[in-house]
Amino acid sequence: MIHQITKAIDSVFGIKTVSAHCDVPCGIYDPSTMQVAALSVIRFIDQINELDGKELTLADHAKLARLVAEKETHAAKVKEEVRIVWGDYFKAAQFEACPGTNELVHSIMLAGSKCKQTIDRAAGEELLKLVNEFAVSFWKTKGVETFTATCPYPPALDVVYPKLG
């Protein structure tokens, strides 16, 4: 199907290659999605750990399976979102404004993997800390100041927000 579409575009417009970060070049990048995903990882870890030491019913086993699956999904989402912003948005000017971005992104990738491998809350908190650092760098490249506030829902941890308007 893709091959047919590519051939049609080539025959009508004479365009051989097209590329964009998400199939539709929207130009919208924001670290908030990865921040919510990191918070979700921590919340799922908390909920998993609440089951520890209790005799689990069949319903509890089903809940545990769902919690683990969602923790994995959200840790992967953090990694995917940071990869997209880093790979598609950051260019030479952004890297100049925020030296150390490559190392920070690598650290986020490793922390996301650690969260998939464990139910250690400290690993989740480290992931959120790194994602918040990335958010500060991202907003700096946009010339937007940031502030830190406690999110209004569990796990009620500090999150970096842009100062808008």
Considering its fold, how many domains does the chain have in total?
A: 1
The whole-number pLDDT of residue 136 equals: 98
Domain encompassing residue 48: 33-162
| Global confidence as pTM | 0.85
In a domain, 98, yes or no: yes
Q: Is the pLDDT of residue 5 over 60?
A: no
- Segment 56-73 mean pLDDT: 98
In a domain, 5, yes or no: no
The whole-number pLDDT of residue 151 equals: 96
Residues 6+ apart with CB under 8 A from 135: 31, 32, 35, 146, 160
In a domain, 153, yes or no: yes
Q: What is the CATH number of the domain that holds 150?
A: 1.20.120.400
CB-side neighbour CA atoms (13 Å) of 138: 28
The whole-number pLDDT of residue 135 equals: 98
pLDDT level of residue 26 (50, 70, 90 thresholds): confident
